[in-house]
């Protein structure tokens, strides 16, 4: 398969080169972390004059490197390779969690690997980059340990533009495939539905088992299993732990909101799902529970449901959410409050929802996702919440129906999903 360049993430690594921090490359399994570091970034270093002997690239998951999973051996090996001069030296360490013992993970003893990484970080000429599978080396663990001295680069599955850079059919066919099988790179190597489905099913089981069940010792936990199914079936729907716990209890599964909340955090830490908070646009404050949850890869979500609930509208909303995160935005669900009258003439507060409020530095966009807008009535419906915002930030409606980008009489941009995804500057049209 042709190489996918992952230029967005390469630039982030380049921008952080030599900043004195440990670069921590995170993301869901098989999204391309190792390839980014060991192939794309290493080739960049070599092509920019860094000699081969100034780079240590060590993959701890390879059998030949098993001895370096012992922290003392790892430390001695790295130190033996680092010259005494002050010229830049690069350490690329893959699957770093394999140098952490189960006893260390349980908190029974200090994690020696962290001490090694801290010592390397204090050497002025040494630049350290690590990746790790989420089962034992979640970003939250590392960022807490290094107290601001870690620099996280989160890698996502392929964007639609990256997907299309090696896809040999039309963008219409490409989008249909992408919305079913997602953007994990190796799905492109499988040519049949059976092959893609098996790969995603196996990967979900592996991720689910290793990154959540084994890490938190939840074997045989029916609550977690059922929770994953519910979240898979309700992407983009408002959800809160109390409501979920009540649903479980009414069906004979004993649990509580604290347990549900904790399990959702486990799934979030493992990059399986991502959460969007609700933001009161006029009140300029976060509302709190309930939240919305989206899958980091729509293909994994579909695989969990055996490809039996592929709702195009919800898949499209999930894909837009992921794309906005990839572009570096903070993404919330917007709420616009206004007063109305009930049937007795009393004032009541009504909340209209804006699918996404996107912020990055001084930029802000309000986005609605609509599968189709066949008539003026539907346009009015989709525009209603945007109409009530009242500020001058750009308002956008993303549709599935193919149409060239255009602006309606209110100045809202109407853009097709494929044009939005393929053009990195689409929000500025």
Question: What confidence tens digit (pLDDT) does each residue in 212-260 have?
Answer: 888 888 888 899 999 999 999 999 999 999 999 999 999 899 999 999 9
* Final residue in a domain of this structure, among 154, 178, 209: 154
* Final residue in a domain of this structure, among 119, 138, 154: 154
Let me know whether 354 and 425 are in one domain: yes
pLDDT band at 84 (very low <50, low <70, confident <90, very high): confident
The answer to whether residue 135 scores a pLDDT higher than 50 is: no
The CA distance from 404 to 134, in Å, is 41
| End-to-end C-alpha distance for the chain, whole angstroms | 33
Mean pLDDT of the chain: 91
Give me the mean pLDDT over the 271-295 stretch. 93
Q: Does 278 map to a domain?
A: yes
Q: Does 253 map to a domain?
A: yes
pLDDT band at 139 (very low <50, low <70, confident <90, very high): low
Q: At what angle do helices 112-121 and 139-146 cross, to 10 degrees?
A: 60
Let me know whether 172 and 235 are in one domain: yes
Please name the residue ranges forming H helices in 97-235. 102-105, 112-121, 139-146, 160-164, 171-181, 193-208, 222-233
Cα–Cα distances in Å, from 189 out to 186, 284, 354?
5, 46, 37
The CA distance from 17 to 318, in Å, is 32
Let me know whether 134 and 207 are in one domain: no
* Least confident among 138-147, 193-202, 227-236, 324-333: 138-147
Query: Which pLDDT score, from 0 to 100, does residue 269 have?
Result: 85
The answer to whether residue 96 scores a pLDDT higher than 90 is: no
Let me know whether 261 and 376 are in one domain: yes
Let me know whether 91 and 170 are in one domain: no
HEC profile for 382-426?
HHHHHHCCCCCCEEEEEECCCCCCEECCCCCEEEEHHHHHHCCCH
**pLDDT-above-70 percentage for the chain:** 96
Q: Does 185 map to a domain?
A: yes
Cα–Cα distances in Å, from 237 out to 99, 226, 240, 389, 403?
40, 17, 10, 22, 27
Let me know whether 110 and 170 are in one domain: no
Q: Does 129 map to a domain?
A: yes
Q: Does 19 map to a domain?
A: yes
User: DSSP strand E in 282-387: where?
Assistant: 285-286, 291-295, 330-341, 347-360, 363-370
**What total of structural domains would you count in the chain?**
2
- DSSP helix/strand/coil, 163: helix
Let me know whether 253 and 357 are in one domain: yes
pLDDT tens sequence across 185-210: 999 999 999 999 999 999 999 888 88
CATH number at residue 137: 3.40.50.300
The answer to whether residue 357 scores a pLDDT higher than 90 is: yes
Q: Does 1 map to a domain?
A: no
Let me know whether 173 and 145 are in one domain: no
Give me the mean pLDDT over the 364-387 stretch. 94
Let me know whether 140 and 191 are in one domain: no
Let me know whether 227 and 357 are in one domain: yes
The CA distance from 42 to 17, in Å, is 12
Its domain, for residue 176, covers 159-429
* Final residue in a domain of this structure, among 92, 125, 154: 154
Let me know whether 386 and 356 are in one domain: yes
Q: Does 87 map to a domain?
A: yes
CB 405 within 8 A of CB 415: yes
Let me know whether 150 and 163 are in one domain: no
Q: Does 2 map to a domain?
A: no
Query: Which pLDDT score, from 0 to 100, does residue 146 have?
Result: 65
């Amino acid at each position: 398969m042709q190489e996918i360049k992952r230029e967005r993430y390469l630039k982030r690594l380049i921008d952080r080169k030599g900043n004195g921090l440990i670069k921590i490359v995170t993301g869901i399994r098989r999204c391309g972390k190792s390839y980014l570091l060991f192939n794309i970034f290493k080739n960049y270093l070599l092509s920019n004059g860094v000699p081969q002997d100034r780079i240590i690239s060590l993959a701890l998951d390879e059998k030949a490197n098993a001895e370096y999973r012992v922290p003392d051996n790892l430390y001695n090996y790295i130190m033996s390779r680092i010259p005494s001069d002050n010229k830049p030296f690069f350490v690329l360490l893959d699957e770093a969690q394999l140098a952490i013992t189960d006893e260390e993970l349980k908190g029974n003893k200090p994690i020696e690997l962290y001490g090694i990484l801290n010592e390397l970080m204090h050497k002025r000429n040494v630049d350290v980059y690590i990746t790790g599978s989420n089962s034992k080396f979640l970003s939250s663990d590392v960022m807490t340990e290094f107290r601001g001295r870690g620099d996280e680069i989160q890698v996502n599955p392929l964007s639609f533009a990256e997907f299309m850079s090696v896809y040999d059919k039309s963008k219409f066919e490409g989008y249909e495939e992408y919305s079913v099988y997602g953007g994990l790179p190796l799905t492109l190597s499988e040519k049949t539905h059976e092959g893609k489905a098996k790969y995603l099913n196996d990967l979900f089981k592996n991720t689910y088992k290793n990154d959540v069940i084994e890490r938190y010792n939840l074997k045989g936990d029916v609550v977690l299993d059922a929770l994953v199914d519910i979240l898979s079936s309700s992407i983009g729907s408002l959800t809160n732990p109390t409501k979920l716990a009540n649903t479980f209890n009414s069906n004979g599964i004993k649990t509580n909101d604290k347990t549900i909340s904790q399990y959702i955090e486990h799934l979030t830490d493992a990059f399986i799902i991502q959460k969007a908070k609700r933001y009161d646009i006029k009140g300029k404050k976060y509302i709190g529970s309930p939240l919305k949850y989206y899958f980091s890869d729509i293909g994994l979500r579909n695989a969990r449901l055996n490809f039996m609930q592929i709702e195009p509208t919800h898949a499209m909303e999930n894909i837009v959410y992921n794309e906005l995160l990839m572009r570096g935005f903070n993404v919330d669900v917007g709420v616009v409050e206004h007063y109305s009258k009930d049937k007795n003439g009393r004032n009541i507060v009504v909340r209209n929802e804006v699918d996404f409020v996107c912020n990055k530095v001084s930029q802000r966009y309000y986005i609605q996702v609509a599968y189709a807008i066949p008539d003026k009535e539907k346009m009015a419906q989709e525009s209603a919440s945007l109409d009530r915002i009242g500020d001058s930030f750009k308002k956008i409606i993303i549709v599935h129906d193919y149409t060239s980008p255009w602006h309606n009489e209110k100045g809202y941009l109407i853009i097709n999903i494929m044009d939005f995804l393929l053009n990195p500057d689409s929000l500025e049209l």
